[in-house]
């Protein structure tokens, strides 16, 4: 089993919203990747954006600036 | 074979389209089902197509581009999901059955539907939109161009009319998407319904609708979405709201490549080429003996379609002779546009439609015109 560490996790209600998140983060150079939604989170979309905790502020700024359609942002151990 | 039935479906597709479909079939997983790289590759590509179509149609939000197998299904979704008993709808005699049949069914369910009439030349009077307006009018549903004559409706005018009277504007762009500019914001269009396999130059089985933000279409089909699995109802967010079941991501891979071709070539260049060929053909055949050409060819802005009859020669026989003797593929018969045929007086004879794509040439066009002149002379 992999070593668990804290992640900043962003959830979505549609796959399209997750795609927009990935595209926007990549364009802005904000780290992270799409992973299956952990069972500790009740989320609409089957995938979520997982970023290092240090990127949380950048992620939140992007969400606001680019009007990204997210469901929630969580700090969880994965 | 000289293929002049591009208004039915374009053939061939641009270089790269078939290859993109094959590559997708050999490598992609299911869009939105799982988060492994194969599924993500599909999801990314599908989203890329949404973004390209949103840009093409002046739709501010890529996530409001929803996919269907064709424009008929898109129109069914828009019409049945926005209108209902007690509503009044204005449409036109230019429409295809993909608009007419959903409207006739709506009428059976208790809605009222009126059609702006076309005259014997297939022309409408825009003042009739105003004459048909009622206090309970909720929407205008109309085509951008007649699939039978190629005559166009001024969608900027219709958009302004709808905005002035608080009406929804549902546009059937089946015959024009990818060739003529369409801008949802500038032209006040609420829903653009499109098909991928005609002038967008993509595979059959692709199409969809672009929806203005705030226009809430009732879902037509409900089911698997890959998201919100424990919800008993269809998710309300676009595009999932209108997309139940696995998408045709393989087909959309081809549409993606076709959209790249359109972008690279430029729709203005494509339109100029196609309309020049249609004009060349029209000029070459219009004075042949016994020829009747339908529609208003004095307009420069028209879809690349020329529809004609030769005397009283049945259109199906003309098309068959064109195919058998001259190797020219055209479409005869009724063209799924019954109201327009009634207006033109061609319900019995039908009509022979020649339609061009970017891949047709002057030589092909001249050969087709010569074949028509030969048949006209023999008739």
Q: What is the ipTM of this complex?
A: 0.86
Interface check A22 vs B, CB under 8 A: yes
| B chain contacts of residue A21, beta-carbon cutoff 8 Å | none
> And the tokens for B11?
């053939």
Mean pLDDT across A21-25: 97
| Cβ distance of B237 and A46 shorter than 8 Å | no
Same domain, B58 and B138: yes
Distance from CA of A54 to the nearest CA of B (A): 23
State phi, psi for A60 to the nearest 5 degrees. -65, -40
Inter-chain contacts counted by CB atoms under 8 A, chains A and B:
66
Nearest to A69 by CA among B295, B379, B241: B241
Indicate whether B278 pLDDT > 70: yes
Assess if CATH 1.10.3470 describes domain A6-77.
no
In terms of domains, do B164 and B218 share one? yes
Q: Residue B240 and residue A16: Cβ atoms within 8 Å?
A: yes
pLDDT at A69: 94
Residue B226's pLDDT is 87
Q: Which of A13, A20, A35 sits opposite B35 (nearest CB)?
A: A35
- Which residues of A fall within a CB distance of 8 Å from B28? none
CATH number for the domain including B274?
3.90.1150.10
pLDDT band at A42 (very low <50, low <70, confident <90, very high): confident
How confident is residue A57, by pLDDT bands cut at 50, 70 and 90? Answer: very high
Closest-CA residue of B relative to A38 is B35
B126 and B34 assigned to the same domain: yes
In this prediction, residue B42 carries a pLDDT of 96
Please check whether residues B37 and B91 belong to one and the same domain.
yes
- Residue-wise pLDDT tens digits, B37-91: 999 999 999 999 999 999 999 999 999 999 999 999 999 999 999 999 999 999 9
Q: What is the predicted pLDDT for the residue at A41?
A: 85
Distance CA B118, CA B108 (A): 23
Residue A40, pLDDT score: 84
DSSP structural state of residue A25: H
> For chain B, what is the mean pLDDT?
97
Specify whether B238 is located in the same domain as B178: yes
Decide if A47 touches B, using CB distance below 8 A.
yes
- pLDDT per position as a tens digit, B90-125: 999 999 999 999 999 999 999 999 999 999 999 999
Closest CA to A22 of B135, B317, B46: B46
| B119: containing domain | 17-265
B25 pLDDT band, cuts 50/70/90, is very high
Query: Does any CB of chain A come closer than 8 Å to the CB of residue B47?
Result: yes
Q: Are residues B212 and B272 in the same domain?
A: no
Same domain, B228 and B270: no
Q: How far apart are CA B301 and CA B151, in angstroms?
A: 8
Residues B2 and B365: their CA atoms lie apart, in Å, by: 9
Residues B261 and B283 in one domain: no
B49-54 long-range contacts, Cβ below 8 Å, gap at least 24?
A: B49/B252, B49/B255, B49/B256, B49/B259, B50/A16, B50/B239, B52/B256, B52/B259, B52/B260, B52/B263, B53/B194, B53/B208, B53/B210, B53/B259, B54/B210
Q: Residues for chain A: how many in total? A: 78
Do B299 and B225 share a structural domain? Answer: no
- Per residue in B307-346, pLDDT (tens digit) is 999 999 999 999 999 999 999 999 999 999 999 999 999 9
Query: Looking at the structure, do residues B255 and B275 belong to the same domain, yes or no?
Result: no
Question: How many domains does the structure of chain B reveal?
Answer: 2
Residues B80 and B141 in one domain: yes
Residue B371's pLDDT band, with cuts at 50, 70 and 90, is very high
CATH number of the structural domain spanning residue B63: 3.40.640.10
Place of tokens 């999901």: B81
Residue-wise DSSP of B238-278? TTGGG--S---HHHHHHHHHHHHHHHHH-HHHHHHHHHHHH
pLDDT at A43: 62
Q: Are residues B201 and B270 in the same domain?
A: no
B76 close to B101: Cβ distance less than 8 angstroms: no
């Amino acid at each position: 089993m992999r070593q668990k560490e804290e992640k900043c996790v962003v959830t979505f209600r549609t796959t399209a919203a997750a795609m927009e998140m990935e595209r926007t983060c990549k364009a802005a150079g904000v780290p992270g990747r799409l992973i299956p939604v952990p069972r500790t989170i009740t989320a609409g979309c089957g995938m979520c954006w997982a970023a290092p905790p240090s990127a949380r502020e950048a992620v939140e700024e992007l969400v606001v600036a680019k009007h990204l359609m997210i469901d929630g942002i969580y700090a969880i151990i994965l | 074979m000289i293929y002049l039935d591009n208004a039915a479906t374009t053939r061939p597709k641009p270089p790269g389209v078939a290859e993109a479909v094959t590559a997708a079939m050999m490598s992609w997983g299911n869009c939105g089902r799982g988060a492994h790289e194969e599924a993500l590759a599909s999801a990314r590509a599908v989203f890329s197509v949404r973004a390209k179509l949103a840009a093409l149609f002046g739709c501010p939000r890529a996530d409001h581009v929803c996919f269907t197998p064709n424009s008929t299904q898109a129109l069914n979704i828009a019409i049945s999901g926005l209108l209902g008993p007690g509503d009044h709808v204005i449409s036109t005699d230019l429409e295809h059955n993909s608009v007419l049949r959903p409207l006739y069914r709506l009428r059976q369910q208790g809605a009222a539907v009126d059609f702006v009439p076309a005259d014997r030349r297939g022309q409408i009077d825009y003042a009739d939109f105003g004459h048909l307006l009622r206090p309970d009018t909720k929407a205008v549903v109309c085509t951008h161009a007649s699939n039978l004559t190629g005559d166009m409706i001024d969608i900027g005018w219709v958009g302004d009319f709808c905005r002035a009277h608080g009406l929804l504007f549902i546009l059937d762009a089946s015959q024009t998407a990818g060739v003529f500019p369409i801008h949802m914001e500038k032209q006040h269009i609420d829903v653009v319904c499109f098909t991928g396999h005609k002038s967008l130059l993509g595979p059959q089985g692709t199409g969809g609708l672009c929806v203005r933000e705030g226009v809430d279409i009732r879902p037509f089909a409900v089911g698997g979405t890959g998201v919100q699995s424990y919800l008993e109802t269809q998710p309300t967010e676009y595009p999932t709201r209108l997309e139940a079941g696995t998408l045709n991501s393989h087909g959309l891979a081809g549409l993606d490549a076709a959209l790249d071709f359109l972008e690279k070539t430029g729709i203005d260049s494509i339109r100029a080429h196609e309309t020049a060929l249609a004009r060349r053909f029209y000029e070459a055949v219009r004075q042949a003996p016994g020829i009747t050409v339908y529609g208003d060819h004095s307009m420069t802005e028209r879809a690349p379609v020329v529809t004609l009859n030769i005397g009283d020669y049945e259109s199906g026989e003309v098309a068959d002779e064109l195919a058998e003797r001259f190797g020219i593929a055209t479409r005869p018969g009724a063209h799924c546009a019954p109201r327009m045929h009634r207006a033109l007086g061609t319900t019995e004879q039908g009509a022979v439609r020649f339609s061009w794509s970017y891949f047709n040439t002057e030589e092909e066009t001249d050969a087709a015109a010569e074949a028509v002149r030969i048949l006209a002379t023999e008739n």
